[in-house]
């Protein structure tokens, strides 16, 4: 078999066989196939697409390119959750303890963020001393003991995807449905969970700006997961404005804690309840949606979800006192209000731009090597549909540098749009694919 022939085959619009896809992925992972040939292949896939069989073969080949985590030493159904990402998305930090407090085993691998705000792993490091680089043995032991662990993704999980994603990122071949679906699902399949609940975001702060694309991606990923024998469900949710009110690492952790106390923002709480209920159903911990939501409401009400977060933070070396006293989380030295220049309804927020404000304050990474300032970010006081008077605060900025605060403020002002009439409220949950 020759890579040249495979590139030509795909360029001409023909489907690759499973054997050819395995040859290509194994060769690329091992360094036998050079970047320039793989770049040409990715561009050919971008223009010609891949059919369902090819996408499934690519997903499995990438999943098997490294370690396939064996979670069989953990009893019960292990459920994983994955979000395609967005601004203010702190879901895992509240959701994982909620679901674990209901008795479902959470054995989750998460990533760091690039751009916007940090990833789940960065956010968890807001707890002083929190360790995410733990061994697979410790991970399994902790899940068996307390029902929850979140670790950083190891280099051994889907190394083919890691290499290929970096290549796609610099060759304008990221935004192809088959490539995105196989990239995400290869990592999820290799991480070993029995069931997977996906949160596919759509809107101005999401990868998939258009709802139709988000649904297509959700369908593709659900098919891939189910084909591989993992029960997979996707929730398509709104990311046309930031989720909740907090954007920025420690601020988001505080909002997740507030939510576990029953004092979270309405949209964020609803998303946690929806995703959580599907996780409980997938694990067989509830028979109906209503029963699942009642169980989740109960663990918030009786404080067991909050205690589960503290137990989890403690088990991974973090300062769990911050769960009960959030003033112990990293705190910025400067706070400033951004006031509205006019009266009216907030009709649209450019969600990506709010993410950029957090990045400008130092809350995200420009490059993989950048250090994150965990304390900075924004709290939004007005969201789409809210009425605001001239001079009223739209948001509070948390910063450690006046110049950066000014830059973020300027950017923020361009992201809010006003109208005289109240816009129609957009639903948070757009649909469920299972």
Q: What's the rounded Cα separation, in Å, for the pair 38 and 3?
A: 9
**Residue 115 CA to chain centroid, in angstroms?**
13
Query: In angstroms, what is the C-alpha Rg of the chain?
Result: 22
Identify which of residues 90 and 188 has a Cβ nearer to ligand URA in the complex.
188
Sites of contact with ligand URA (CB under 6 A) = 165, 174, 179-180, 183-184
* 378: β partners: 247, 397
> Please, which residues have CB within 8 angstroms of residue 378's CB and are 6 or more apart in sequence?
246, 247, 248, 251, 354, 357, 358, 361, 395, 396, 397, 398, 408, 412
- How does DSSP assign 24-71, residue by residue? HHHHHHHTSS-HHHHHHHHHHHHHH---HHHHHHHHHHHHTTS-----
Q: What's the rounded Cα separation, in Å, for the pair 383 and 394?
A: 8
Least Å distance, CB 64 to ligand URA, is 17
Least Å distance, CB 212 to ligand URA, is 18
Identify which of residues 180 and 281 has a Cβ nearer to ligand URA in the complex.
180
Least Å distance, CB 162 to ligand URA, is 9
Identify which of residues 115 and 344 has a Cβ nearer to ligand URA in the complex.
115
Instruction: Report how many helices (DSSP H) and strands (DSSP E) the chain contains, helices first.
Output: 17, 13
Question: Could you give the count of Cα atoms lying within 13 Å of 132 in the half-sphere of its Cβ?
Answer: 20
Q: What's the rounded Cα separation, in Å, for the pair 78 and 73?
A: 11
Identify which of residues 217 and 247 has a Cβ nearer to ligand URA in the complex.
217
| End-to-end alpha carbon distance in the chain | 38
Least Å distance, CB 184 to ligand URA, is 5
Least Å distance, CB 86 to ligand URA, is 12
Least Å distance, CB 160 to ligand URA, is 12
Identify which of residues 104 and 158 has a Cβ nearer to ligand URA in the complex.
158
- Contact by Cβ (8 Å): 364, 117: yes
Catalytic residue list: 82, 161, 168, 183, 187
Identify which of residues 121 and 180 has a Cβ nearer to ligand URA in the complex.
180
């Amino acid at each position: 078999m020759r890579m040249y022939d495979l590139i030509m085959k795909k360029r001409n619009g023909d489907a690759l066989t499973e054997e050819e896809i395995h040859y290509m992925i194994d060769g690329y992972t091992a360094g036998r196939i050079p970047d320039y040939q793989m770049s040409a292949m990715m561009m050919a896939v971008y223009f010609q697409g891949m059919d369902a069989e090819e996408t499934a073969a690519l997903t499995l080949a990438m999943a098997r390119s490294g370690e396939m985590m064996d979670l069989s030493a953990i009893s019960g159904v292990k459920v994983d959750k994955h979000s395609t990402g967005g601004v203010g998305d702190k879901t895992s930090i509240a959701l994982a303890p909620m679901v674990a407090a209901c008795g479902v085993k959470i054995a989750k691998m998460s990533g760091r963020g690039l751009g916007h705000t940090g990833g789940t792993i960065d956010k968890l490091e807001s707890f002083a001393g929190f360790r995410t680089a733990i061994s697979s043995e410790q991970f399994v032991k902790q899940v068996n003991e307390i029902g929850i662990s979140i670790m950083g993704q190891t280099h051994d999980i889907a190394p083919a995807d890691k290499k290929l994603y970096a290549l796609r990122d610099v060759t304008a071949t990221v935004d192809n449905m088959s490539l995105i679906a196989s990239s995400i699902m290869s990592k999820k399949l290799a991480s070993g969970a029995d069931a997977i609940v996906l949160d596919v975001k759509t809107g101005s702060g999401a990868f998939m700006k258009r709802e139709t694309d988000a649904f297509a991606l959700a369908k593709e990923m659900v098919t891939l997961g189910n084909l591989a024998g993992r029960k997979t469900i996707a929730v398509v949710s709104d990311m046309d404005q930031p989720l909740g009110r907090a954007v920025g690492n420690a601020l988001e952790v505080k909002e997740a804690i507030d939510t576990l106390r029953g004092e979270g923002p309405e949209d964020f709480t609803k998303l946690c309840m929806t995703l959580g209920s599907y996780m409980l159903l997938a694990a067989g911990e509830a028979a109906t949606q209503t029963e699942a939501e009642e169980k989740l409401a109960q663990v918030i009400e009786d404080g067991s979800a909050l205690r589960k977060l503290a137990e989890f933070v403690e088990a991974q070396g973090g300062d769990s006192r911050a769960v009960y006293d959030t003033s112990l989380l990293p705190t910025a030295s400067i706070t400033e209000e951004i006031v509205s220049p006019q009266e009216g309804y907030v009709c649209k927020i450019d969600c990506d731009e709010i993410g950029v404000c957090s990045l400008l304050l130092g809350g995200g990474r420009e490059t993989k090597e950048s250090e994150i300032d965990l304390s900075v970010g924004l709290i939004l006081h007005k969201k789409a549909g809210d009425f605001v008077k001239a001079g009223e605060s739209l948001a509070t900025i948390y910063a450690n540098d006046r110049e950066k605060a000014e830059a973020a403020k300027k950017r923020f002002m361009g992201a809010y749009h006003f109208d005289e009439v109240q816009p129609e409220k957009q639903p948070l949950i757009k649909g469920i694919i299972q």
